[in-house]
Amino acid sequence: MGLNRGKVRIIGGMWRSRIITFPDRLDLRPTPDRARETVFNWLGQDLSGMRCLDLFAGSGALGFEAASRGAVRVVMIESDSDVFQALLKNREKLKADQVELVQTNAFSFLTLDRQQFDVVFVDPPYRFALLPEILPHLSDRLTKNGQVYLEMDYGWMPDEQWQVRRKGKAGKVNFQLLELRDG
């Protein structure tokens, strides 16, 4: 998609106002500032001790934001090699040792990896409508009281296994914070 490179600003934590860059790609659209501000208000500004998974890392905005706010470990999954290289450069620039980058697709990672996380960020390319396929794979990846952040371009309701804790909209972006229902 050309040589234009995108930029996004981290909005909170120790890297507040730092800029991360990423290549221009059709499906790569960073979570808007307003949505990030809202979700991190929901999660609590301090994520100290939390383990997070950014399943479709893209620009890295959600994962680096979580690390900036104290997450002890952030695993970021990205399949595009150029985007992955940009994530590596941003990790190095920020000295983000708590960020683990994995170059693979989300389904392969979820099939092969058994780690559990306190927060899973799910912001897949909109045009593939992957939420119904991804969500069933997440229930055993969450710690007790773990939460899933979903981002989509339309209002969507998960199946009965999930409870929507919060939902919001920023421009054309719809987002939700889910947790597993008890029982």
For residue 152, what are the domain limits? 26-180
**pLDDT at residue 182 in the model:** 78
Q: What is the pLDDT of residue 121?
A: 97
Asked whether residue 96 is domain-assigned, the answer is yes
- Confirm whether 10 is domain-assigned: no
Distance CA 108, CA 77 (A): 10
Q: What is the pTM of this model?
A: 0.93
The Cα 148–Cα 54 span in angstroms is: 10
36, part of any domain: yes
| pLDDT for position 1 | 37
Number of domains in the chain: 1
Q: Give the CATH number of the domain where residue 107 resides.
A: 3.40.50.150
Q: SS3 of 82, please?
A: helix
Determine, yes or no, domain membership for 6.
Answer: no
What does the pLDDT read at residue 125?
Answer: 83
- Is 127 domain-assigned? yes
Residue by residue, pLDDT tens for the chain (183 residues) are: 333 358 999 999 999 999 999 998 877 888 888 899 999 999 988 999 999 999 999 999 999 999 999 999 999 999 999 999 999 999 999 999 999 999 999 999 999 999 999 999 999 887 778 888 999 999 999 999 999 999 988 777 888 899 999 999 888 889 999 999 875
Q: 60: burial class by Cβ within 10 Å (0-12, 13-18, 19+)?
A: buried
Residue appearing with tokens 């221009």: 24
H/E stretch holding 102 reads: strand 99-103
21 occurs within a structural domain: no
Residue 172 lies in a domain: yes
43: in domain: yes
